[in-house]
């Protein structure tokens, strides 16, 4: 991997002076085209050996590009206090540039796995899991259209020793050489070996690595600028092609979509609560239990994420209220999910849900959720079949990351019959409260009942995992549904604490 | 202030049972109307004595309202790591609910001033400054249409002692009584006296306090719910009236708007850089100086906020680039300001600028800024005259808060002549680079040259303060402008460190 980057590559002053003006113009033009297209972000990852000129190159690129449309993030170790209490991937989602912009990520999601493996904090298997996670994350980004440019700055062992020494000798740059740099130099061979493994596995067709020798500043800068220009141009060229391909590609094969029994359709909706007294007793008991659980000492190290889906008028609001009234108002947030805003559309689909992920000790309840992608967006044809076809895997990855961080993920599908929905619509219209207004959309959704049932059944089949299972809730009897939801939630939390 | 709240107010079970259902319906209906109107937020501030049932009341209100459209923030002491390095008011801006929603702020901007005064951390004058700041902040909110509901929960000294004792005796509530609660009880008289002073001064016509006796849970809950319902109803009723009043009210008196000399027009645009050599030397010297200043040990405790305004093609982009290329890319962000997005419009005008305020040790450069309110929005009539008339004061308050936090605020107006602008437009059209595209808007703005000049002169007259002065930059000669900007910035930072 690193052979060509240890040959002592240099660029002389004349070549530099001759080539830089053209490169700058080309970069500015490509950047303007990316902005005008507005359909994808450019994500530049900067990695490599200490002292190989990563910082200088980032500053150089920033100087060459239009700084108003570049965002740079330093993403070294996850020490920043802001990210404490948040899942591992949260800060990377937070740092993604919107469509039309260039984001330079200094460090990126590659830092921790490599450093942790070299320090022996994770084993081979752990590194492999990280690599797989990165591959799926980057696939999500490129599937969504992102132009991902990965630059790795390399130095031979000899060159690194010389470089650190030179930086240290100069009064102006001495501050930049830290004890960690020398410590890492002592581990050069391990770093080289782990990095090579990671780069080899993550250099994919859609997001390849460019390895650049870091010894000579002119060679390094010219190589980085050229790589960025070429990647932007290439992505701009396939712009139209990409869109066509995405439109043509069908969804992944969905075995549950073949005619046959559907898990949602087969659900027995007859269970009821028997008596009002029984409901009141159980409600009080379970709310008290939930309240106690949320004050449990171990709760501060976990978080709870609840997603509610179901037909209109299935009773999501009422069920949510029975949960929240058992919790301290400072600990939870209820997030109603509607169509994404323009700002949210400028990011990959899951971005807007990452914004609301609770920190440790907190609860977020989603009234409708990220499953909209494979429900309403699928049925109403609001996104390409390829996009919702991909979403099952992306969603499972998302939930895996939450669970890995200690989150308890509970997902409830509230199922009612068509007759029950009609009765509730009629009743609401009669009540006339504005908060219960039945909209044209509600009636339209009702007309697509069968398609929603197919979509919901596929969803359950493909995303009900052991770590984040779906709970199907017969909800023709509201009280039965509320008790079942509260009990499931208490059980899940109790088992986790 | 507290007399009626020490009378031992109670509500019996029967009254409670009779009145609660109607109150809940009324609250839900008012909340639905607020959401449907979508023109203002409801901001509920919760303050008062420890043990007076603040937490219970917040939970009660959350249970009565539709939790999907309520956001609750606990804003006690500013210890939360997220806010470290950010100005005092940042977290409150962050916690404001958008239009159409209810936000419950537990603690709010009243906590610190009261506690700090009782503990003797600030003197009388400091408290008065905080009160004045709060008054201006709340005026900004209500001028913008917000429904601000301020609830203060009070206990007599005797009642507080009894309450803390009772909480401590119960096994389930013991955890809630902290050593601080008892310490504060020992300072009851001081707390009462300072709170009374603060409440008296901040109980305004548009945002009055409601003081509620906290001893009896039913009385407390019913009073809080009723106050919230009444405030929402009152605000909904004046909805149309408010809009009419805002439209009719003219801007504050602007002495600079009377015919006469205008500071922008009088500016001598003739200065030039003399020679290319002189420019190159000065540029290198000043960029080197800026680079050193940004690495100065004291810089980590300050932040730098630079705002650029000026006619189209005045050279803002080029000047910004000369600053950024002297800085480490990890330390700065360039924020280009365009028309606000739908999400941003749901908040008070300055909200979107607070989002980009740098933390300590960082630099944010705004390419156009919050001054758009009194420039383009005024000239193009994009907001009510009353709104831009108010903005001068709001902007001065905003910048004062930044400076008080240690920010260095530098504001540059780049001035070119009409002839020079025309020449630059023509040149850009000839170049044909997409990044320099001249739009219809540019030509239209040019046609309003005089009006922009009046607006810019008013702006300088009304917002150039000692703490955050405007620098008027003759920019017919780009190189002269860049050097003047770099030198001013270096001088400002040097003086501050």
| Confidence class for position A242, pLDDT limits 50, 70, 90 | low
d(CA A475, CA A470) in angstroms, rounded, equals 15
Indicate whether B438 pLDDT > 80. Answer: no
Contacting residues of A for B61, CB less than 8 Å apart:
329
pLDDT of residue A435: 63
Nearby residues of A207 by Cβ (< 8 Å), 6 or more positions away: A138, A141, A142, A148, A150
- Count how many Cα atoms sit within 13 Å of the Cα of residue B41 in the half-sphere of its side chain: 25
pLDDT of residue A78: 52
Pick from A25, A330, A336: CB nearest B72: A330
| Confidence class for position A83, pLDDT limits 50, 70, 90 | low
Average pLDDT, chain B: 89
Which 468-497 residues of chain B touch chain A by CB within 8 A?
A: none
Interface A–B counts its CB contacts (< 8 A) at 122
Give residue-wise pLDDT tens across range A322-368.
999 899 888 899 999 988 888 888 999 999 999 899 988 999 999 99
Give residue-wise pLDDT tens across range A198-234.
998 999 888 999 999 999 999 999 999 999 999 999 9
Do A3-246 and A255-496 have matching folds?
Answer: yes
Give residue-wise pLDDT tens across range B331-387.
899 999 988 888 888 999 999 999 899 988 999 999 999 999 999 999 999 988 888
pLDDT of residue B156: 92
**DSSP tag of A299:** G
- Using CA coordinates, name the residue in chain A closest to B318: A66
What CATH superfamily is the domain A3-246? P-loop containing nucleotide triphosphate hydrolases (3.40.50.300)
Per-residue tokens: A385: 């079949």
Cross-strand bridge partners of residue A365: A306, A334
Are the beta carbons of A341 and B341 separated by less than 8 Å?
yes
Give residue-wise pLDDT tens across range A254-289.
444 555 678 888 899 999 998 999 999 999 999 999
Q: Is A310 in contact with A413 (CB distance < 8 Å)?
A: yes
Are the beta carbons of B59 and A329 separated by less than 8 Å?
yes
Q: For a pLDDT cut of 70, what percent of chain B falls above it?
A: 93
pLDDT of residue B39: 93
Give residue-wise pLDDT tens across range B243-285.
555 555 555 444 445 556 788 888 999 999 989 999 999 999 9
Q: For a pLDDT cut of 70, what percent of chain A falls above it?
A: 93
Residue to mutate among A36, A68, A296, with most B CBs inside 10 A, is A68
Nearby residues of B291 by Cβ (< 8 Å), 6 or more positions away: B326, B327
Is B296 an 8 Å CB contact of chain A? no
What ipTM does the predicted assembly reach? Answer: 0.74
Q: Is B88 in contact with B401 (CB distance < 8 Å)?
A: yes
Question: What are the Cα distances from residue A244, in Å, to A41, A238, A248, B33, B265?
Answer: 19, 10, 6, 45, 54
- Using CA coordinates, name the residue in chain A closest to B359: A82
pLDDT of residue B435: 63
Question: What are the Cα distances from residue A305, in Å, to A347, A399, B323?
Answer: 22, 10, 44
Which 312-351 residues of chain B touch chain A by CB within 8 A?
A: 317, 320-321, 324-325, 327-330, 333-336, 341-343
Question: What are the Cα distances from residue A14, in Å, to A9, A17, A27, A112, B312?
Answer: 15, 5, 20, 40, 37
Is A258 an 8 Å CB contact of chain B? no
**DSSP tag of B31:** H
Average confidence (pLDDT) over A442-458: 89
Which 203-242 residues of chain B touch chain A by CB within 8 A?
A: none
Least confident of A73-82, A396-405, B351-360: A73-82
Nearby residues of A290 by Cβ (< 8 Å), 6 or more positions away: A323, A326, A327, A486, A489, A490, A493
Contacting residues of A for B333, CB less than 8 Å apart:
71-72
- Using CA coordinates, name the residue in chain A closest to B106: A330
Indicate whether A416 pLDDT > 90. Answer: yes
Does A189 or A246 have the greater pLDDT score?
A189
Q: Cα–chain-centroid distance for residue B374?
A: 16
Q: Is B232 in contact with B239 (CB distance < 8 Å)?
A: no
pLDDT of residue B205: 85
Give residue-wise pLDDT tens across range B282-312.
999 999 999 999 989 899 899 999 999 999 9
Indicate whether A243 pLDDT > 60. Answer: no
Helix axes A124-143, A385-404, angle to 10 degrees: 150
pLDDT of residue A205: 85
Indicate whether A407 pLDDT > 60. Answer: yes
Which 386-445 residues of chain B touch chain A by CB within 8 A?
A: 433-435
| Confidence class for position A81, pLDDT limits 50, 70, 90 | very low
Can you tell me which residue has the tokens 């000043």? B286
Pick from A59, A328, A341: CB nearest B329: A59
Give residue-wise pLDDT tens across range B184-223.
899 999 999 999 999 989 998 889 999 999 999 999 999 9
Write down how long chain B is.
Answer: 497
* Domain assignments of chain B as residue spans, ordered by start: 3-246, 259-496
Give residue-wise pLDDT tens across range B13-31.
999 999 999 999 999 999 9
Average confidence (pLDDT) over A463-467: 90
pLDDT of residue A173: 75
Classified as helix, coil or strand, A336 is: strand
Indicate whether B442 pLDDT > 90. Answer: no
Does A99 or A168 have the greater pLDDT score?
A99
Question: What are the Cα distances from residue B53, in Å, to B113, B153, B169, B275?
Answer: 21, 7, 16, 73
Q: Which fold has domain B259-496?
A: Rossmann fold (3.40.50)
Q: Which fold has domain A255-496?
A: Rossmann fold (3.40.50)
Q: Is B116 in contact with B122 (CB distance < 8 Å)?
A: yes
A 10 A CB-CB count for B411 gives 23
Rg (CA), chain B: 27
Residue to mutate among B233, B330, B338, with most A CBs inside 10 A, is B330
- Using CA coordinates, name the residue in chain B closest to A296: B175
Are the beta carbons of A68 and B336 separated by less than 8 Å?
yes
Average confidence (pLDDT) over B94-118: 92
| Confidence class for position A235, pLDDT limits 50, 70, 90 | very high
- Using CA coordinates, name the residue in chain A closest to B325: A63
pLDDT of residue A256: 43
Indicate whether A118 pLDDT > 80. Answer: yes
Separation of first and last alpha carbons in chain A:
46
CA distance A317 to chain B (A): 8
Average pLDDT, chain A: 89
């Amino acid at each position: 991997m690193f052979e060509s980057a240890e040959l002592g590559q240099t660029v002389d002053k004349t070549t530099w002076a001759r080539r830089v003006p053209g490169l700058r113009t080309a970069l500015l033009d490509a950047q303007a085209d990316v902005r005008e297209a507005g359909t994808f972000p450019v994500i530049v990852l900067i990695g490599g050996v200490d002292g190989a000129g990563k910082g200088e190159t980032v500053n150089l690129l920033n100087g060459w590009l239009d700084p108003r449309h570049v965002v740079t993030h330093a993403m070294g170790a996850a020490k920043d206090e802001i990210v404490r209490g948040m899942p591992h991937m949260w800060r990377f989602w937070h740092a993604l540039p919107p469509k039309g912009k260039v984001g330079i990520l200094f460090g990126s999601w590659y830092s921790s796995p490599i450093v942790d493996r070299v320090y022996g904090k994770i084993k081979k298997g752990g590194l492999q899991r990280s690599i797989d996670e990165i591959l799926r994350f980057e696939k999500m980004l490129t599937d969504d259209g992102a132009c991902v440019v990965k630059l790795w700055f390399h130095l031979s062992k000899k060159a690194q020793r010389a470089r650190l020494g030179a930086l240290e000798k100069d009064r102006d740059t001495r501050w930049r050489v830290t004890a960690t740099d020398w410590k890492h130099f002592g581990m050069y061979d391990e770093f080289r070996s782990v990095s090579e493994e990671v780069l080899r596995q993550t250099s994919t067709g859609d997001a390849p690595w460019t390895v650049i020798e870091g010894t000579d500043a002119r060679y390094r800068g010219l190589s980085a600028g050229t790589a960025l220009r070429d990647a932007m141009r290439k992505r701009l060229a396939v712009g139209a092609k990409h869109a066509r391909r995405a439109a043509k590609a069908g969804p992944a094969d969905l075995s549950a979509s073949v005619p046959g029994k559907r898990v949602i359709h087969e659900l027995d909706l007859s269970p009821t609560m028997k008596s009002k007294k029984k409901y009141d007793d159980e409600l009080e008991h379970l709310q008290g239990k939930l309240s106690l659980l949320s004050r449990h000492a171990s709760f501060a190290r976990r978080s709870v994420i609840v997603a509610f889906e179901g037909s209109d008028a299935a009773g999501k609001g009422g069920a949510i209220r029975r949960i929240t009234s058992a919790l301290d108002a400072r600990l939870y947030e209820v997030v109603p999910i509607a169509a994404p805003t323009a700002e949210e559309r400028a990011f990959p689909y899951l971005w807007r849900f990452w914004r609301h992920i609770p920190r440790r000790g907190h609860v977020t309840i989603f009234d409708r959720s990220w499953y909209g992608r494979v429900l309403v967006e699928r049925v109403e044809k609001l996104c390409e079949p390829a996009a919702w076809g991909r979403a099952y895997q992306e969603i499972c990855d998302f939930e895996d990351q939450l669970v890995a961080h200690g989150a308890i993920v509970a997902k409830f599908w509230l199922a009612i019959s068509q007759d029950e929905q009609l009765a509730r619509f009629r009743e609401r219209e009669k009540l006339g409260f504005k908060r219960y207004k039945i909209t044209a959309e509600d009636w339209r959704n009702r007309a697509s009942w069968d398609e929603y049932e197919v979509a919901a059944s596929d969803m359950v089949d493909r995303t009900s995992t052991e770590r984040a299972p779906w709970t199907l809730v017969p909800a023709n009897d509201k009280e039965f549904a509320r008790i079942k939801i509260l009990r499931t939630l208490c059980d899940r939390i109790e088992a986790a604490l």
